[in-house]
Amino acid sequence: MNLRDDGVYCDCTVGGAGHLLAMLRRTRQARFIAIDCDPAAVAYSRHVIADYRHRCFIFENNFINLDLILNQINIPKVDGILFDLGVSYHQLTTPERGFSFERNGELLMRMSPKIPSLRARLCKTGQEELAGVLREYGDVRNYKKIARMIFERRDVIATTLDLRRVIEEAVPRRFLKKNLHKVFQSLRIWINDELGQLNWAGFAQGDADVWRELIGREIPQLYGMFMNRWPNPSLAEELVQKTVFDAVRGRASYDPSKGSPEEWLFGIARNNIRLEMRKRASRPSVNGDLSIYLATIDSEPLPDEVLEQKETAAVVRTALSRLEGKEQTVLKAKYLEGISARDIAARIGITEKAVHSLLYRARMLLRRELERIISADKQGQ
C-alpha cells in the first residue's frame, strides 16, 4: 500500500496486528482504523500497538459496518483499505476455537462469539444446502457423499475430530489431507459468511445498493470460476477479493450499452485470470524455484508458490522419497503441515530434543538430494 503521512487507512481484518504495526512504523503522522470481529484479536492488537494508540482506532466490529464506524469518529473517507482474509494462525492453533482438524475442540469455527457455532448450524441445515456449501466454497469433488454423511450424523458430531472421522470414512486415504482442508475451509467460509461480506467492502461512500446485491449474488460463481481454473482455495479467495475491489472502484465506468452488470463483473474476473496467467508465465524455472526453497529450508515451510509448480513439487517429492521413514515424517509434519516439534514428538514417540536433531539431519539430507537433482538436470541439458 502506498502510505502517505497525511492519509487515513483502514485494516479491515486486523488479526494479530502484524500488518497494522508495520504500517504504523512506516509512517509518522498517518492515522489508522483497525477492525476485527474477534474480541481476542482486538484485545491483543490494542496491546501490540499501545505505543501508537494516539493515531490508531481499533474497533470490535465487522468491516461491513465501515461506513458507520467512519461516521462515528467523524472521518469522511479513507485513503486505503487492507484485507487479509481467512483464518489466523492463533485461531487455527487454539483448539477451543474449533478451526483445526489436527486439534480436538468443540465444533465452533466462528470468527466472532456473536455468530452461531458450526455445530448449531449443521443441526438446522438440510443435506442439499450442505452439499452446495462444499461444492461452491471448497470445490470438494465427492461433495454429495460427504454432505450426506455429515447430515446423517449431525446430531453426534460435537467436536472437530468427530467431523474429521466422518470425512476419513468418506474419502480414500490418499486424498484425505486435501479433502480435510477443503471441507473445513468451506464450512468456515459458510459459517462466517466470509465471501458474502466482501460485497459490502469499500462501499463507505455513495448509494451502492444495486452493486451490493449484484456482487453478493455472484460471489459464489466467481469463487467457483477461479477454483475451476486453479484448484487453490487461497488463490481463489484472493482473486475474488481483487475482482470485488476492481468492481467497487470502477463501478462509475460501467457502460450499460456494452452488456449487463453481470457480464461486466465477469469480464473483470476474466481479466484478473489473464493477469494471473501472465504473472505465472514470468515465473522462474524449476531450478529457480528450488533455489528459493533451498534459501529458506532451514527456517520456513515449502513456499506455496513453489509447491504450486507441478514440476518443482515433483522434484521435491522425489527427493523426499529418498529419505528414511522418520526423516520423511518429521519434514512433512514440520514443513508441510506446520506441526510443532512437541506435537511431532508425541506423534512418533520420541523426545522433543530428538525431533530437533532429526529435523536438522533430514534438512541437510534433503538439501543434498535437491542439489544433486538440480546438478544432474543441468548436466543433462
Residue 34's DSSP bridge partners are 11, 58
CA dihedral (61, 63, 67, 68) in degrees, to 10, reads -10
- Residue 106: the pLDDT is 93
- Residue 206: the pLDDT is 39
Inter-residue contact 339 to 102 (CB < 8 Å): yes
Neighbours of 131 (CB within 10 A): 19
- Residue 167: the pLDDT is 95
- Residue 257: the pLDDT is 67
- Residue 1: the pLDDT is 73
Neighbours of 92 (CB within 10 A): 17
- Residue 149: the pLDDT is 95
Q: What structural domains and CATH numbers belong to the chain? A: 1-84 (3.40.50.150), 95-192 (1.10.150.170), 195-282 (1.10.1740.10), 286-380 (1.10.10.10)
Please, which residues have CB within 8 angstroms of residue 290's CB and are 6 or more apart in sequence?
Answer: 306, 312, 315, 316, 370, 374
- Residue 122: the pLDDT is 94
DSSP assignments along 211-278, one per residue: HHHHHHHHHHHHHHHHHHHS--HHHHHHHHHHHHHHHHHHGGG--GGG--HHHHHHHHHHHHHHHHHH
The DSSP element (H or E) to which 80 belongs, if any, is strand 80-82
0.85 exceeded by pTM = no
- Residue 205: the pLDDT is 39
CA dihedral (34, 39, 45, 51) in degrees, to 10, reads 90
How do the pLDDT tens digits run along the chain, 381 residues long?
A: 789 999 999 998 888 888 899 999 999 999 999 999 889 889 999 999 999 989 999 999 887 777 778 888 888 888 888 887 777 777 878 888 899 998 899 999 988 888 899 999 999 999 999 999 998 888 888 899 999 999 999 999 999 999 999 999 999 888 898 899 999 989 998 988 776 666 555 443 334 555 555 666 677 788 888 888 777 776 777 788 788 777 766 766 667 667 777 788 888 888 888 888 777 665 545 455 555 555 555 444 444 444 455 556 666 667 777 777 777 777 777 666 667 778 888 888 888 888 888 877 777 777 777 777 766 655 554
Helices (runs of H) and strands (runs of E) counted in the chain = 19, 4
CB hemisphere CA count around 268 (13 angstroms):
24
Cα gap 186→244, rounded to integer Å: 19
- Residue 299: the pLDDT is 47
C-alpha cell read off for 182:
477443503
Residue with cell 477451543: 96
Packed helices 160-170 and 176-191: angle between N→C axes, nearest 10 degrees: 130
- Residue 52: the pLDDT is 92
